[in-house]
Amino acid sequence: MFASAPFRLADANSASFGAAQLAAPAALETAGRPFRLALVEDDPVLRRLLHRYFCGFSEFEWVVVADSAETLWRELTFSSAPDLLLLDLGLPGQSGLDALPDLVAHFPTLGVVVQSQTDKAEVIYQALTRGAHGFVVKAATPLPAYREALLAVAAGGTVLSPATTRKMLDYSHTVPAPSPPPLSEREHQVLEYLVMGQSEDFIAQALGLPAAGVAGCVARLTAKLRLTRPLASFSGLAFRGGVA
């Protein structure tokens, strides 16, 4: 069912995502407990496979496994709020795309990785701009990559496969760009180090963050500032509350 294609964090340093405002949560704080995980997938075979796979890892605990967005909402009234959500886009009833804005509004710290059979750029773009923190294509994503994606999002990262990143970059150039959204305090901290020419590894150590968290922050900065060259190349420029 799954290809053994490689999977990694999006290399968003290489270009801008234009108008896309990548939403990524701050690193999740769970006070040492496992991440509460929810899954919405209408394919019963894949749903059972993912459920069984993640049962083998102590860093996750299931709170909801549902076959539709409507079932998810019902189950959430009886369970703890999830930290992470694997959300299928092609659902019966309310689609995953339509459910996304309400989910992230109701659970502001929720990290969402969407999965789909399609890799169309427009769908990827809509998912990311509606609040998803990662996008995986089912047939191209091996099971260990699902775990990698969820852990990266939990650390504050934004997760895309290399092929998905390229589609996003190409598509975003056709979309009018709005005014840049404001930077968070963490993004300001990372940006200050970047303009001093520091590496992501150095920043991770200095701020006590996981490498994936810094990579996700860099991705969001690149998108918010609509940069067209690597952030590291802006060393020496002064950013104060916006674009230099």
The pLDDT value given to residue 162 = 64
Helix (H, G, I), strand (E, B) or coil at 116: strand
Q: What number of residues does the chain have?
A: 244
3-state DSSP helix/strand/coil % of the chain, to nearest 5 = 45, 10, 45
Find, among 119, 103, 78, 140, the residue nearest to 25 by Cα: 103
pTM of the predicted protein model: 0.65
38, 85 Cβ separation under 8 angstroms? yes
Per-domain residue ranges for the chain?
12-172, 185-234
Nearest Cα neighbor of 13 from 206, 190, 183, 182 is: 190
Measured CA to CA, the distance from residue 136 to residue 78 in angstroms comes to 29
Residues whose CB is less than 8 angstroms from the CB of residue 117 and which lie 6 or more positions away in sequence, other chains included: 90, 137, 138, 139
CATH topology of domain 185-234: Arc Repressor Mutant, subunit A (1.10.10)
Identify the segments of the chain with pLDDT beneath 70. Answer: 1-29, 31, 161-163, 169, 172-173, 175-181, 225-244
Structure letter (DSSP) for residue 232: G
Helix, strand or coil, per DSSP, at residue 115: strand
Class for domain 12-172, per CATH? alpha beta
Q: What local confidence, expressed as pLDDT, does residue 235 receive? A: 40
> What tens digit of pLDDT does each residue of 103-149 get?
988 988 899 999 999 888 888 888 888 889 889 888 888 999 999 99
3-class SS of residue 142: coil
